[in-house]
Structures are given as structure tokens and as C-alpha cells.
Structure 1
Amino acid sequence: MIVKETKLKGCAIIEPTVFEDERGYFLESYNQKAFNQLVGNKVTFVQDNESFSSRGVLRGLHFQRGEHAQAKLVRVIKGRVLDVAVDIRESSVTYGQYVSVELTGENKKQLFVPRGFAHGFVVLSETALFSYKCDNFYNKASEGGILYSDYNLNIDWILKNDDLIISEKDKILPTLENL
């Protein structure tokens, strides 16, 4: 497993070791001991989530507040997405900056999104099966979000705005400045 730190402290791209032969492949998608050593942080995941979406579906940018904040380890099992993490830690030198990475069933990369980040993704393939681990349980009262098209963030979602499929709830999220 290789961990590549991004420009946002604590946010990392993880590339698992993949063993392939004529039968297919094998990989260890998660090992708590190795993960904690590599990210230099003790993270205990308590919930696994999965979503299936069609091309153009944009989910995000979401986060949990306060004691219900969540770190996430995200990956794509099948398909292709652009995954985005935005630093919303007010004391951070990279506050308001984002990283994006293409996650696919083929490249098997994962993104570790620590607490204090908003997260979202857009599906670039016909469909995508997206999986993520969370280190805290979901709490509806603590959910928050940032508008995907926040001018100050200026995220390049790759697809044209007319091709995006966005929930009504996500369309009315505030900008980072208005959180």
C-alpha cells in the first residue's frame, strides 16, 4: 500500500497493492494497522456506506459538524468518479482549498478524507458503485454542506453544468463564505 499526501494536510491518496493473474485480481482494501501507520493517525471506522449512481450525478459537498464530524475512506468498486475534498478547518492554512482525484474500479485508488473536510463526487462513467468507511455514525442534526458551484472554491467538476444531476437539497446549500 502506498500513501501519497495531498496539498491538504491529513488528506491522502491511497494506492493498494494489487495482485493480478489470469484468474483476476486480489487486493487488501483496508487493514487498520497498516492504515493507521501510514496515515500517522489512529482512525477507527464504525460504518460502511455504499451508493450507486448514474453518469452526471453529483453528490456533495457534505460534512458532519462538531462531535459528529466524520473521517472517510472512499473508493470506487465499479465505474469512474471525480472525488473532491474541501478543507473547511477554519484554522488551517489550506482553508477553502480542495483536492480532486479520479477514483475508478480500474485504478483502485482510495481517498482518505479526515474530519474537518467537506466531501463530494461526480460520476463520470455510465454508472458507478461508490463505497466509503466512516469513523463516526451519521447524525442528521449535524449534517451540513457547501454549494457544489461555490464561485470562490471554483471546483472543476469536469462535466458541463447542464449534464449534472443534483438533488434539490444540494442545489440550495450555502457557499463556504455563508456557512
Structure 2
Amino acid sequence: MNGFFLKNLPDRGCLEEMAERYPEMNPDAAEVYLHFLRLGADVGNRISDYLAGHKLSTGRMSVMMMLNSCPNESKTPGELAERCGVTAATISRLVDGLIKDGHVQRVPDPENRRVSPIRMTDAGRKHLEQLLPGYFKDVARMFGPLSANERNNFLKLLNKLQSNLNEESELS
């Protein structure tokens, strides 16, 4: 199990009592926040469980999907770290594990020996081809209760929250 794991969220009365003690707290925002965290954790855990059945972590899957998006190109570890939003050390561990499993390989760069771009192997592509149909089916099933219009509105709201976070981090 990953991340947030609170299953019994505080009720509205509890949140309102806390807001009396902490005037900065907005009970509406806190309630949405807690539900959002729990949903994110539940979705993440579901995907992690699916990937674990295919001997992959979400981190390794991210690397493979980055490489799969441009199958005839190699990416440097630095490019992968940037695109996945992780540190160089994290990407190194993920790539080393994927190499050990035969899913990716280092490709020598004749122009720069200090850089070893990473490319997906045929075995890695085959592995993805086997797991992606079930992966995408599971994602569709999770969001199936929402209509196309609701999914569009949900996406707009998520983007609005992300923009707010980005603006606030630029100000600090």
C-alpha cells in the first residue's frame, strides 16, 4: 500500500470543530482535500497492484512509457529524470532494474562517452504490449461512472488546481 491510507475520514462536524480551533482552516476545502487524497491513494494503489502482477512498479512503468512514446529514439537518464519528475539517483535505480529485467538497454553514444542513452528492448516492448490493454481497461473502468462531460469538467478542475499550485510555488 502506498501513500495516504486514512479510510475513515472525519465527518463534517469534526471538521467544523477543528475550524473553530484553527481559524485558518476552511472546512469545505479540508473535506475536498481529504477525499481527494484518499481517492488518489486508492487509484494509485489499484494501479500499483495491477503493475505488481506484471512485475513492474509505477516508477518503472513511467520510464517504459516515456521510452515507448518515441520507440525509435533513445533518451538520456537526465531526460528521463526530467520527464518523469524524479532525481538522477531515482532514475538510475529504475533504469538499472529495467536493464536487469531485460526491458531497456544502454546505447553507447559515439560522440559523448559520458552519456549512455537508454532505449527499450524488444522484450520491453513486448512486455508493455501484454500489460497495456488491461492497464487501459482498468483506467477506463475507474472513470467509467463519469460521463464524457463530467470527465471533461473534472479535468478542467484538476488543471485549475494545478495552475494554482504552480502560481503559488512561483511566488514563494
TM-score range, shorter chain: under 0.3
Higher strand share: 1
Task: Flag the structure with more relative contact order, 1 or 2, with Cα contacts below 8 A and sequence separation at least 6.
Answer: 1
What TM-score, normalized to structure 2? 0.20
Higher helix share: 2
What TM-score, normalized to structure 1? 0.20
